[in-house]
């Protein structure tokens, strides 16, 4: 299994779209910094600058685009096998659907974690840059460092869960318009239902819900519990369906 | 010892017609087994069942005298190198990287990659991105992939597809060398001329059944028909000789006073020559065409 996972990472070599894993969060941070610089003249030493940068300038874009970005990432990883019609070959080499499923799962979850880590570090670096640029503002006073760590850990759980959901879908769909189009549609729809009580049962709303809980120092809240439950359901159900119905031959010849 | 042993293999695609109707075959250790059949006879299906890509209802396939699909014997597949359909590689990786990737699935050292690439003449192109390779190079890399982990048996489906005459010859020689070193080779092809030069045993599949399985030498011994090309110094007149008593038929009158005869029994060749000489024909040249695998195949499998 260890070698199969190694192989999964090795075959991602030179996949250009995977560079987005650090380019995309950096782009979002740069947009937030630019916005901050535009409005900084209206701020003083009493302003809660970290919270303003995070909640008003960064998380709006981040919450909306990240699930879609994770979908693109997972889709790109799955496309490697579809494009090369190599599912059957992979089956012949590994001889185990379990190994195929869990190695792919580990790859997509790793990329989601990497994405969150890069975003977290990028945000901290961006904030340091602003505190250097505006020493009179309150960046040094209200750092929210523990809260930020908890926030990004929560994002990591939510996006890993979403990555597993997308993996289970994109194992069977190779058409980008159908795959990414439907994700985009569901994502926009989840914005509409966000304020409903029952929205907690829809995993695609969790990205928005996480940011609304910024400030807690306790990791587990209802969104996190539901994320963990969904993650287990997606893994168990996805694995069962994969082992029972997935057919390499059909996919390669479709 | 049989490396591949199949007994009464049946296979039917879901909601489809029966493809294999009791295939029985044995591939002996250290043989080169040619597997032939018309389009749709079930060759690729048989290979897919052997490799476990298609599941047969019965426990009909044995590799190295063991059931390869039992979980305790799954390592058997590591002793097999395969090439099925067309070469399957990751387009964005180089030739070398595609083989390095395999080292995660099989246990072999990096030096084996060098050896495999040089066997198929791709060592100089090892840094070439796969999608930039020509069809022939891709096919050669697929053969390198099949042999890189020094398997005990090679299963090849159309290994000479897309190869130019030079590399067809080279690969044939390398496969022979590997066979001399102890590797068993099982391959299917439509290039019967190529197959004839390489194989030691033949299995002919027709309508989902093996209709003939024999060493290739025995196969040709069984063929009594021969074709003879005789060149005369004058024009040949068909009416002048009665061939019926000799059981010889004139096959074709060709340019430059050549005539081809088809003789039902090779022992009749002497009598044919005597008859021609008796009829005052002067023979300038005689060429005897041996029966080919293609002749045999066309006669038996179509």
Rounded alpha-carbon distances, angstroms, from residue B254 to B46, B231, B271, B278: 43, 9, 22, 22
B220 — pLDDT class (breaks 50, 70, 90): confident
**CA–CA separation, B24 vs A96, rounded Å?**
27
Chain A nearest-CA distance from B221, in A, is 39
Among the ranges given (B160-164, B192-196, B247-251), the one the predictor scored with the smallest mean pLDDT? B247-251
Higher pLDDT, B141 or B2: B141
Give me the residue spans of the domains in chain A. 2-12+19-253
Chain A nearest-CA distance from B90, in A, is 6
pLDDT at B16 over 80: no
**CA–CA separation, A114 vs A156, rounded Å?**
9
Query: What is the reported pLDDT for B208?
Result: 86
SS3 label, residue B280: coil
Stretch B51-72: mean pLDDT: 83
Q: What residues 205-244 of chain B have any CB closer than 8 A to a CB of chain A?
A: none
Stretch B40-57: mean pLDDT: 86
Strand partners, B18: B12
The reply to whether B77 touches chain A by the CB within 8 Å rule is: yes
Stretch B281-295: mean pLDDT: 81
Residue bearing tokens 């089956």: A91
Query: What is the reported pLDDT for A254?
Result: 57
B117 — pLDDT class (breaks 50, 70, 90): very high
Residue B282 is given by DSSP the state P
In a structure prediction context, what are the per-residue pLDDT tens digits for chain A, which is 254 residues long? Answer: 888 999 999 999 888 888 888 899 899 999 989 888 888 887 777 778 888 888 776 788 888 889 999 999 999 999 999 888 888 888 888 878 899 999 999 999 999 999 999 999 999 999 899 888 888 887 777 788 888 999 999 999 999 999 999 999 999 888 889 988 888 888 888 888 888 888 889 998 998 888 887 778 888 889 999 999 999 999 999 999 998 887 766 666 65
Q: Are the Cβ atoms of A83 and B54 closer than 8 angstroms?
A: no
Q: Which residues of A touch B101 (CB under 8 A)?
A: 7, 10-11
DSSP string, B98-147: HHHHHTTTS---HHHHHHHHHHTT-STTTTSBGGGS-HHHHHHHHHHHHH
Stretch B115-121: mean pLDDT: 92
Q: Is the dihedral of CA A225, A226, A232, A235 positive or negative?
A: negative
Q: Which residues of A touch B52 (CB under 8 A)?
A: 92, 95
In degrees and rounded to multiples of 5, residue B211 shows phi and psi of: -95, -25
Chain B nearest-CA distance from A86, in A, is 6
Mean of the per-residue pLDDT values of chain B: 85
Higher pLDDT, B240 or B229: B229
Prediction pTM value: 0.84
The reply to whether A15 touches chain B by the CB within 8 Å rule is: yes
Q: Are the Cβ atoms of A84 and B97 closer than 8 angstroms?
A: no
Chain A nearest-CA distance from B103, in A, is 9
Closest in B51, B89, B90 to A92, CB measured: B51
The reply to whether B128 touches chain A by the CB within 8 Å rule is: no
B245 — pLDDT class (breaks 50, 70, 90): low
Rounded alpha-carbon distances, angstroms, from residue B278 to B243, B274, B281: 13, 6, 7
Q: Are the Cβ atoms of B53 and A249 closer than 8 angstroms?
A: yes
The reply to whether A6 touches chain B by the CB within 8 Å rule is: yes
**CA–CA separation, B154 vs B152, rounded Å?**
7
Closest in A7, A83, A95 to B91, CB measured: A83
Stretch B85-90: mean pLDDT: 87
The reply to whether B11 touches chain A by the CB within 8 Å rule is: no
Query: What is the reported pLDDT for B240?
Result: 65
Q: Which residues of A touch B91 (CB under 8 A)?
A: 83-84
Q: What angle do CA B203, B208, B211 make, to 5 degrees?
A: 40
Residue A249: closest CA among chain B residues belongs to which residue? B53
**ipTM for the whole complex:** 0.85
Going along chain B from its start, the domains and CATH numbers come out as 2-221 (3.40.50.300), 226-300 (3.30.70.80)
Tally A–B CB contacts below 8 A. Answer: 54
Write down the H helix ranges in chain B: 43-51, 95-102, 110-119, 135-147, 165-180, 192-198, 216-221, 269-278, 293-300
> Which site among B45, B53, B73, B87 would you substitute to test the A interface, given the most A Cβ atoms closer than 10 Å to its Cβ?
B53
């Amino acid at each position: 299994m260890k070698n199969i996972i190694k192989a999964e990472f090795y075959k991602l070599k030179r996949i250009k779209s995977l560079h987005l894993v650090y380019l995309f969060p950096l782009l979002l941070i740069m947009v937030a910094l630019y916005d901050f610089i535009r409005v900084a003249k209206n701020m003083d030493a009493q302003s809660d600058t970290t919270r303003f940068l995070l909640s008003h300038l960064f998380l709006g874009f981040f919450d909306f685009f990240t699930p879609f970005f994770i979908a693109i990432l997972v889709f790109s990883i799955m496309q490697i096998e579809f494009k090369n019609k190599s599912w059957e070959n992979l089956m012949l080499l590994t001889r185990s659907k379990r190994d195929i499923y869990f190695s792919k799962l580990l790859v997509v979850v790793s990329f989601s974690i990497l994405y969150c880590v890069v975003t977290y570090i990028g945000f901290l670096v961006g904030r340091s840059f602003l505190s250097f640029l505006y020493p009179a503002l309150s960046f040094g006073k209200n750092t929210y460092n523990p809260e930020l760590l908890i926030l990004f850990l929560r994002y990591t759980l939510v996006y890993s869960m979403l990555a597993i959901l997308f993996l289970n879908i994109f194992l069977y769909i190779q058409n980008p318009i159908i795959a990414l189009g439907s994700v985009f549609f569901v994502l926009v729809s989840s914005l509409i239902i966000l304020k409903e009580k029952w929205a907690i049962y829809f995993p695609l709303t969790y990205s928005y819900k996480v940011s609304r809980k910024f400030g807690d120092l306790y990791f587990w809240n209802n969104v996190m519990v539901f994320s963990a439950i969904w993650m287990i359901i997606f893994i168990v159900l996805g694995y069962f369906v994969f082992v029972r119905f997935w057919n390499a031959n059909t996919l390669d010849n479709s | 010892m049989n490396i591949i042993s199949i007994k009464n293999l049946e296979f039917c695609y879901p909601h489809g017609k029966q493809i294999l109707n009791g295939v029985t075959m044995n591939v002996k250790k250290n043989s080169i087994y040619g597997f032939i059949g018309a389009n749709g006879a079930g060759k690729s299906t048989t290979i897919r069942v052997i490799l476990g890509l298609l599941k047969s209802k019965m426990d009909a396939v044995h590799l190295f005298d063991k059931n390869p699909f039992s979980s305790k014997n799954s390592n058997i597949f590591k002793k097999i190198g395969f090439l099925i359909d067309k070469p399957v590689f990751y387009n964005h990786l180089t030739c070398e990287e595609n083989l390095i990737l395999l080292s995660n699935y099989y246990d072999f050292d990096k030096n084996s990659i060098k050896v495999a690439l040089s066997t198929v003449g791709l060592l100089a192109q090892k840094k070439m991105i796969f999608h930039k390779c020509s069809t022939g190079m891709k096919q050669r890399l697929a053969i390198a992939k099949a042999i890189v982990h020094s398997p005990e048996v090679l299963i090849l489906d159309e290994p000479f597809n897309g190869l130019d005459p030079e590399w067809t010859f080279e690969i044939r020689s390398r496969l022979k060398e590997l066979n001399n070193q102890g590797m068993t080779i099982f391959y299917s092809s439509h290039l019967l001329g190529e197959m004839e030069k390489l194989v030691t045993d033949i299995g002919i599949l027709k309508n989902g059944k093996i209709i003939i399985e024999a060493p290739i030498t025995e196969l040709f011994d069984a063929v009594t028909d021969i074709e003879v090309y005789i060149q005369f110094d004058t024009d040949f007149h068909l009416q002048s000789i009665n061939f019926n008593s000799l059981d010889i038929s004139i096959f074709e009158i060709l340019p430059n006073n050549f005539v081809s005869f088809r003789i039902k029994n090779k022992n009749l060749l002497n009598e044919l020559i005597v008859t021609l000489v008796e009829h005052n024909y002067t023979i300038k040249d005689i060429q005897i065409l041996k029966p080919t695998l293609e002749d045999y195949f066309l006669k038996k499998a179509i």
